[in-house]
Each structure stands twice: as structure tokens, then as C-alpha cells.
Chain A
Amino acid sequence: MIPVRGPGGGGRPNGTVTGALAALFGTATFRLTIGSTAILLAVTLLQFSLIYWRITAYEVERADRLLDREAALMAAQSPADLLEQLRLWQTNDLRLLITAAGLFDADRRPLGGNLVEWPENLPVDGAIREITVHPLDQGVRTIRAEALPVHGGRFLVIGRGLRDLQQLREITLAAIETALIPAMLVSLGAGAWLGRRNLARVGRMQRAVDAIMEGGLHERLPVGRSGDEMARLATSVNRMLERLEHLLDEIRGVGDDIAHDLRTPLARVRAGLDRARLRSRDPDVLLGAVDRAIADLDQCFGIITALLRIGELENDRRRGHFGAVPLRELVSEIIEFYEPLAEKAGQTLTLDRTADLAVSGDRELLFELVANLVDNAIKFTPHGGHVAIAVLQRPNRQAVLRVSDTGIGIPVAERGMVMQRFFRSDKSRHIGGSGLGLSLVAAIARLHDATVQIGSGPDGTGTVFEIAFPAPAET
């Protein structure tokens, strides 16, 4: 880039000023001000024009009435009187009313008055016209005048100048100047001030955004007390930032959880293989170590697969496949699928009651949701226990899926946490599984806008999971 050198070398401060001005002109507020000032100007000019037009019309009418009256009076006088009056008039007050007058003989030669030649375009018909004349003591003037015959075959021309009108015009223009120019200046000044204020606010927001981009996600945009559209926007952005920060924290937490939960089986794999290589020459023992390693690695893959599935569920693409899912049929199928497992664990798995309800959802995912709950219930219920599924309808028409068991239960303090990824109650550490079953339940429920509630049985033992689906829209 070649620097452009301004004349006089004072380019830099000048450039900053120009830049600041350009920024000011660029603000929406200032542009708005310029626009409204232009409109103000146009409206004011229109108003003054109207006023001027009305005044002119009034003044012309007044002048014409005056001329007619004077003309009638003068025409009634004898020729000698008229000539005398004209001579007097030239030195008298009447000149304020009648500014031009002339008496002409039948051949239209001047006999008296200040008009020395017959004006052009003035027929002798007593009608008032606007004409140009050259009076004796004045230059060219525009007057309203009439010509009429008087006694003795003579003709009288009298006219009234438009000087009053001229004065009115000047007064109007002066009024425009005194009213409009200060108003425009005030308006532009206010615009500039508002623009600068907004510019400063945007500047503060930009600095906040810059700070956020540099990693300070806890920073927020300044909102101010104005409650205007900019404050509302800032509030929205702040809400978004809050959500982002929360998600990031969650991801960070999940990352730690993944690392921790994968480290345990991986450490086991490593230790097992290490020991087998150092200690054992027996092929069967080696084979056993390899099998155990594969099983542990499979558990790692299971964790990763479950995490990927949760991630997949958390972006909403699947809602496109939603259809009506009859819950009774779904629950019956679950019972059929899990019954052998319950039987093997020495438990009973029953269908309590089922309302004939359908919810909007993805059948496969809802199956997975219930399957995970039942799987969980069977896992945490001792021999001889009981697991029950029910489909109910709440008074507000919400469909509720309930899975209850007579198992070890979930302490009240842990109920909020069990839905989080990897959380496992201290009581359940010894029981196998990826630890993600309930996280999947939570993710699938969230996708269906359903709520998950955890409680305990009527006597305070066991666990009750209730999935409440949104009430169907009124038809």
C-alpha cells in the first residue's frame, strides 16, 4: 500500500476528523435526522407559500377595490377640477393610495399627472389590468391600473403600484429565514448529538464483542436503561451468550466425563495386556487376556456410540420423521421384549393400565426411551421385585408414560443429576452399563418436548419415572 500524503502534511488529524464525521454521517440516526429535516423544510416552505398566496390575493383584491372607487370619484369631476386635482395629488397623501395617474386627450396625449405616455396594452374599458409603466419621477414599475373615459372626451388612467405586495414578499422571506434556518440547525444538531450517542453505544458494544471474541465469554453487552430497540437487541444477545456459555460449560464437563469414563476401561485393557505379556506363557491365559481386552474396548465403543447418539438427538433434525405413535402398542412390545430378562432376574414385569393414547414422535426413539427405562428398572431392582409400565392421561390431556419399580430407588438429592451424562449413583457403581441410558432418555424426551419426572413409590421406596408428553393441540 502506498501512503497518500495530504497537502500540508496535516493529513492525520484531519483524516481522523473526516473519519469521525463519516462515521457520524453513516449512523442511521443522523441519516434519519437529515431526512426529517428535509421534510420539515419542504413542509415549512409549502406553508409559507400558501400564506403568501393568500395574502397576495387579498392585497390585489383590496387594491382593485380602491382603484375602482377612486376612478369613479375622479370620473365624476369636471375636466378642470380633475386636472387641478391631479396636480394636487402629485404632492398629496393620495399618492399613498394611487401611485400612478394620467389624464390624456382624445388622441391620448398627456395633459397631466405623472404618466407621460399612454401605457401599452391598456384598452379603455374600466377593467383593471397588471401593466408596466414609466412614470415621470420613477423607473419602470408594475402596477395594477385601469383606463376610463372622463368628461370632455378625455381619458383617465389611474393605477396602484404593487409595492405593498413587494414588502409583504420581503417580510415573508425574512420570516422564512428567521424561522427555518434556526429550526434546521437545531434539528441537525440534535441529530448529530443522537448519532454520536448511538455511535458511542455501538462502540461500547463492539468493545464488549471484541472481548467476548478474545475468549471472555462471561462478558456481556452493555444494555443501558433506555429500554429502546438497541437495549432489547443487547438483551437478546446477552441471553444467547448466557446459553452459549452454559452449553460450553456443559461440553467442557462432558469432555472431562468422557475422558474419565474412557480412561477406566482403557487402563484396564492396558494393565491386562501388560500383565499377560510379562507373566504368561500359557496360550489359554493369553487368549483370555485378549478376550477381556476386546470386551473392555467394546465397552469404550459402546460409550462413544451412545455419546454420538445423544449428540445426534440433540440437534433437531429427527423431528422431520415424527408421526403418531400409539403408546399401548409400543408398551406391549416393550413388555414382550423385556419379559424374559425380568423373568431371568426373578422379577415380574407387568402392564398396569394403558389408556389408548397416541403421541407425536419417532417410534424407534420412543421405543428406545422406554427400553432404557425398563432396562434400568430391571437392573436396579433386586430379585423378587416388580417393574410396572403404565400409560395414563392427565386431566390436562397430557399423555404420561410411567415406569415404576420396587428397586433401590434414587435419593432425592441425586434425582436432578441422574439425567446428566455419565452420572452414576454411588449405590450403583458396581452395576455394569455405559452410564448413558438415562442421558439418552433425557435427550429423547427433550426432542419430543416431553418432561421427565423422577419420584418414588407410594411407600417411599423404589423409583417412578414419569414421561409427560405435551398435550395434543385442540382440534
Chain B
Amino acid sequence: MFALMSASIPSAPKPSRILLVEDDAPIAAEIVAELTARGYDVTHAETGPAGLDLAMGGAFDVLVLDRLLPELDGLAVLARLRAEAVRTPVLVLSALSAVDDRVTGLKAGGDDYLAKPFAMEELCARIEALLRRPSDTRETELVVGPIELDLIGRVARRTGRSLELLPREFRLLEYMARRPNQVLTRDMLLEDVWHYRFIPQTNLVDVHIGKLRRKLDTPDEVPLIQSIRGAGFMLRIPE
């Protein structure tokens, strides 16, 4: 299990710097411990103004910002940062789970939104996604390991073998291929591939992944989509 986790840590010599602005001490301690264990360089601020100062001064790779903060509200911090042209990706945390709150969070300049309570795996997967955001989306062809995707003709191949994918399956594979070797949670897939923000009663994501998996792997091939226990899935590209 640990070996799998380490695959998601960037192998760069310098660890990614994360600023956590969160006033709830036990939750903050949990997050700091978990992120540090995963090899990130974490700085913690307890209030809005302190977080704002640190975010303006230090060069952070990702900001994790709680919405409800003493002195200066999380969204206000975010608005000031964006006004000062600080473009650091921001993950907004909130105990408010209502869809409307999520929309206001993203509108204020947040890049992602996570409602409390959340699983630590979910938080880490989303931070990682922000750190490794795919930059160029205008390419016409995507090649990841044995997978080739023709984005114009919507044709998918694995080592030359054509895959009969439905449009949704193609979009799912494309999303995963843009984020190889990265943990993708069920909620992330629901939100980003299907654009649904409700949690289905049955785990439909698993069913869809299962179907894609059967089309992607023949019995004698190395399985490319791996299930990550307690977290989600990963498109694992062999070295």
C-alpha cells in the first residue's frame, strides 16, 4: 500500500510547498502530519490575515484555504490574492456542502472545492491534481505509454489495437490519460468527467471504470487502471 502511495509523490528533488490556512487545530494537525508524511513542505497559518501575508510573500505551489476563518473570511483572502495577481492554485475547504456554496467558492477564484468531512485520500488526490494540472489542452493527439488517443477523430488505441469506446468511455480515458500515475477519486471523476455534483446511491464510477477496464486490457496485457484502496483509481503507466 505504501509503495503505491509513493508513486504519487513527485520525484523532484525539491518538495512541493503547500500553505494550509485552517483555524481548526485538530484538523490542521491531521492535515499537516499527513501531507508532511507524503513528502510535502507544509506551512500552516491559523487566521485569514496571517494566511494572506504568507501567500503574498512566499512562493507556494498550492494553497489549501478554509472558508470559515477568524478575522478574514477564506473567500475574502482568495479575492485579495486574485486581485494582487497571485495565481497560485487554491483548494477551498468548507463545512458548507451546499451546491450553491461550492459555486460561490469556485467563482471567487478557487480552483477546486472540497466539503468537510473529507477523507484524507480525497484531499491528497486533489492537491496532487492541482500540482500537476495538465497545461496544454489544445493538442490533437495524446500518447501516454501504450495508449494513443486521437482527440479529433475520437479514436483510442492500445499498442496499435483499436478500442471500441463509447463517447463517455473515451472522455473518461482521456481524463485519466492527461493525469497518468495520479490518484483520481470517485468524486473527482464524477465532477470532472460527468459534471455531476451529486453522489449516486450506487457506486456508478466503479461500474464505468470496470467497463473501460475490460475494453482497455486483454487478459494477457498488464492492467493499466489500478484501484487504489480507500481512494479511487489510477492510470498506471509502466516505466
Contact = CB atoms under 8 A, between A and B. Distances in A.
B219 interface: no
B222 interface: no
B210 A340 contact: yes
Contacts of B210: 340, 344
Contacts of B207: 340-341, 344
A338 B168 CA distance: 12
B117 A301 contact: yes
Contacts, number: 53
B137 interface: no
Interface in A325-359: 336-338, 340-341, 344
B202 A378 contact: yes
Given A308-B97, A364-B99, A437 B201 contact: yes
B115 to A, nearest CB: 8
Nearest to A338: B204
Given A340-B210, A341-B207, A433 B201 contact: yes
Interface in B171-210: 194, 196-202, 204, 207-208, 210
B177 to A, nearest CB: 20
A434 B201 contact: yes
Contacts of B202: 341, 375, 378-379, 433
A375 B208 contact: no
Given A371-B198, A375-B202, A433-B201, A305 B97 contact: yes
A294 interface: yes
Interface string A299-340: 001100100110010000110000000000000000011101
Interface in A357-395: 364, 367-368, 371-372, 375-376, 378-379
Contacts of B99: 364
A291 interface: yes
A368 B201 contact: no
Interface string B87-110: 000000000011110000000000
Contacts of B100: 317-318
A344 B202 CA distance: 12
B211 interface: yes
Contacts of A437: 201
Interface in A443-475: none
B230 interface: yes
Nearest to B115: A305
A426 to B, nearest CB: 19
Given A312-B98, A340-B208, A344-B210, A371 B200 contact: yes
Interface residues of A, number: 29
Chain A CB count within 10 A is highest, among B198, B210, B229, for B198
Nearest to A365: B198
Contact of A302 (B119, B166, B199): B199
B201 A340 contact: no
B194 A368 contact: no
Chain A CB count within 10 A is highest, among B194, B200, B229, for B200
Contact of B201 (A308, A317, A372): A372
A290 to B, nearest CB: 10
A364 B198 contact: yes
A372 to B, nearest CB: 7
A309 B207 CA distance: 25
B168 A336 contact: yes
Nearest to A436: B201
A390 B30 CA distance: 49
Interface in B112-139: 117, 119
Chain A CB count within 10 A is highest, among B196, B201, B202, for B201
B197 A341 contact: no
Interface in A423-439: 433-434, 437
A294 B230 contact: yes
Contacts of B229: 291
Interface in A168-185: none
A269 to B, nearest CB: 15
B199 A375 contact: no
A263 B66 CA distance: 30
A367 B196 contact: yes
A432 to B, nearest CB: 9
A375 B196 CA distance: 15
Contacts of B98: 308, 312
A197 B86 CA distance: 72
B194 A337 contact: yes
Nearest to B203: A341
B199 A305 contact: yes
A291 B197 contact: no
A338 B205 CA distance: 10
Nearest to A295: B230
A305 B118 CA distance: 12
A344 B204 CA distance: 11
A383 B201 CA distance: 19
A295 B117 CA distance: 14
B204 A341 contact: yes
B203 to A, nearest CB: 9
26 contacts: A301-B117, A305-B199, A308-B98, A309-B97, A309-B198, A312-B98, A336-B168, A337-B168, A338-B204, A340-B204, A340-B210, A341-B207, A344-B207, A344-B210, A364-B99, A367-B196, A367-B198, A368-B198, A371-B198, A371-B200, A372-B201, A375-B200, A375-B202, A378-B202, A379-B201, A379-B202
Given A294-B230, A434-B201, 9 more contacts: A301-B117, A312-B98, A337-B168, A340-B210, A341-B207, A344-B210, A371-B200, A376-B201, A379-B201
Interface of A: 291, 294, 298, 301-302, 305, 308-309, 312, 317-318, 336-338, 340-341, 344, 364, 367-368, 371-372, 375-376, 378-379, 433-434, 437
**Those 7 A-B pairs whose CB atoms lie nearest each other, nearest first:** A368-B198, A340-B207, A375-B201, A340-B211, A341-B207, A437-B201, A433-B201
